[in-house]
Structure 1
Amino acid sequence: MRDFDALMKETLDAEERELLAQMGEEPGWFSQIFGLFTGKIGWTNIVLAITQAVMFIAGIWAAVHFFNATEPLEALRWGLPAAVLMILAAVIKLSMLPVVYVNRVLREVKLLQLQLAQKH
């Protein structure tokens, strides 16, 4: 992929290189993750993150009781909620990951739009 980037930079004229410099480098992983909590729908991601954290903590609490249980029925009563809470916490966390990739694609589309606007 780096060879393609180098080839692309070689073929760009000075004006396009300046445009790429203005856009800057692609943000790092942590910048992209924390970027989920900004913008118009940032509040929903904050609610999801808090919900995920509560479910994870409750799942850990239930798992501790599960491992301390001496009776099979008691273990079942703690084990099922622990498993469900941990799985739901993982699903919520993984549901936010595609948004990061959508934001990356949108950034590239905006870059293409700027390049097209510079040509006309």
Structure 2
Amino acid sequence: MDKTDDLIERALSAEDRALLASHGEPGYLSQALGLFRGPQGWVGMLAYVTALASFAGFAFAFWQLWTSDDVLAALKWGVVAVLLLQYAAMMKAFMGTRVEANRTLRELKRVELQVAMLRESVD
């Protein structure tokens, strides 16, 4: 934590700390499974399924490349394998950016909660 976090922590009451602690950062598995929930859950599921299919296609193409005797066929399977592996990696990166976007939204909601608690204490 940095100095700003320490100042915020000292300014909160014990009740506020307990409330914010209950809304803490979930674990990695919970965050990853969160991609499949909510109104955009189908996008996460589609990306995951296509990434799995792409990786399975990569494994098949790589096996065909490895067992091929013809140079031209090996080259064709090699190109297909590289493209499928790149697509699988791109989908994994896409899902990673969605996890980070969800983390940002979660932190924004925590800030909104802190502002609401502050506004309630002033009133």
- The answer to whether the superposition gives a TM-score over 0.5 is yes
Which letter does structure 2 place at the counterpart of 1:110? K
Deviation at 1:5, TM superposition (A): 4.8
Q: Contact 1:36 / 1:45 at 8 angstroms: preserved in 2?
A: yes
Aligned residue for 2:107?
Answer: 108
Aligned residue for 2:58?
Answer: 59
Deviation at 1:2, TM superposition (A): 7.2
Q: Secondary structure at the match of 1:110?
A: helix
Q: May I ask how many residue pairs the two structures share in their alignment?
A: 119
Deviation at 1:7, TM superposition (A): 5.2
Q: Secondary structure at the match of 1:96?
A: helix
Aligned residue for 1:16?
Answer: 16
Report the TM-score, using the length of structure 1 for normalisation: 0.88
Q: Secondary structure at the match of 2:69?
A: coil
Verify: 1:36 aligned to 2:35, yes or no: yes
Gaps in structure 1 of 5+ consecutive residues: none
Which letter does structure 2 place at the counterpart of 1:56? F
Deviation at 1:13, TM superposition (A): 1.9
Deviation at 1:48, TM superposition (A): 1.2
Report the TM-score, using the length of structure 2 for normalisation: 0.86
Q: Secondary structure at the match of 2:31?
A: helix
Q: Name the Cα RMSD after superposition.
A: 1.8
Q: Contact 1:19 / 1:115 at 8 angstroms: preserved in 2?
A: no
Aligned residue for 2:85?
Answer: 86
Deviation at 1:6, TM superposition (A): 5.3
Q: Distance in 2 between matches of 1:45 and 1:107?
A: 18
Q: Contact 1:56 / 1:85 at 8 angstroms: preserved in 2?
A: yes
Q: Calculate percent identity across the aligned residue pairs.
A: 38
